[in-house]
């Protein structure tokens, strides 16, 4: 079964508008972490934001925020005020485990975001 699901293979957003990229996950471990990475056309993987399963508040980093709904097992990424440079692939990922917090990270299939001027 898929551990990380990203149902939107491609998304378009108008410049300066906000966009939400969906991510649902599947785990039975009570301790886990969720990540979002950005991969521009140049290919590098850029860390955006992290949410721990026990974090009380939704994570925010500048224009990025994570809409964490634990009961629904969703961790959607919200990008506010989209910029042309936001056009890229976006990957949701999960790390399972608490004590062994250095375990492998499982990635979703990604969502391609295109920002329209």
Contact (CB, 8 A) for 62 and 49: no
Question: What Rg do the C-alpha atoms of the chain give, in angstroms?
Answer: 14
User: What binding mask, one character per residue, do residues 58-77 give for another protein by CB under 8 A, x or -?
Assistant: --------------------
If the CB atoms of residues 75 and 93 are measured against another protein, the closer one turns out to be: 93
Environment class of 94 (CB within 10 Å of its CB; exposed 0-12, middle 13-18, buried 19+) = buried
Nearer to another protein, 25 or 91 (CB): 91
Q: Which is nearer to another protein, 52 or 78 (CB)?
A: 52
Residue 8: other Cβ atoms inside 10 A: 15
| Contact residue for another protein among 59, 86, 88, 108 (CB under 8 A) | 108
Report d(CA 40, CA 112) in Å as an integer.
10
Q: Which residues contact another protein (rule: CB under 8 A)?
A: 33, 35, 37, 43-47, 50, 52, 91, 93, 95, 101-110
């Amino acid at each position: 079964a898929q551990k990380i699901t990203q149902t939107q293979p491609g998304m378009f957003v108008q410049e300066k508008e906000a966009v939400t990229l969906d991510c649902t996950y599947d785990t039975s471990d009570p301790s886990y972490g969720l990540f979002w990475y950005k991969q521009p056309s140049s290919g590098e993987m850029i860390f955006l934001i992290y949410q721990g399963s026990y974090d009380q508040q939704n994570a925010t980093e500048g224009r990025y925020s994570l809409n964490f709904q634990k009961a629904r097992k969703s961790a959607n990424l919200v990008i506010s005020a989209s910029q042309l440079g936001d056009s890229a692939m976006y990957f949701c990922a999960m790390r399972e485990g608490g004590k062994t917090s250095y375990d492998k990270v499982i990635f979703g299939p990604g969502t391609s975001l295109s920002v329209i001027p």
